[in-house]
């Protein structure tokens, strides 16, 4: 049985965006700027999918 875990989606959104902007400003990776914009528009599920693709441990965002 799958247990539903509540995560702080806004903190996840902010962290994903900061990571993308850091890649842009740190390395000049233009695609990261577009990704930051995509993060702003993403649904909750899309954010979770992005985080999982990047190997982010969603347990770090668990809400108590």
Query: pLDDT exceeding 90 applies to what percent of the chain?
Result: 42
Q: Is the pLDDT of residue 19 over 90?
A: no
* Position 2 in a domain: no
* Position 45 in a domain: yes
Q: How far is CA 21 from CA 8, 16, 52, 55, 56, in A?
A: 20, 9, 19, 18, 17
Q: How far is CA 61 from CA 8, 22, 40, 48, in A?
A: 5, 20, 18, 11
Q: Is the pLDDT of residue 61 over 90?
A: yes
Instruction: Look up the domain containing 47 and give its range.
Output: 9-61
Over residues 21-43, the pLDDT tens digits come to 766 666 655 555 566 678 888 99
State pTM to two decimals: 0.73
Number of structural domains found in the chain: 1
Q: Is the pLDDT of residue 1 over 50?
A: no
* Position 56 in a domain: yes
């Amino acid at each position: 049985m799958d247990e539903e875990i509540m995560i702080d989606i806004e903190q996840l959104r902010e962290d994903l965006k900061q990571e993308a902007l850091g890649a842009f400003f740190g390395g000049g990776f233009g695609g990261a700027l577009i990704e930051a914009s995509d993060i702003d528009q993403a649904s909750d599920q899309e954010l979770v999918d992005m985080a999982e693709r990047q190997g982010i441990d969603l347990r770090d965002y668990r809400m108590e």
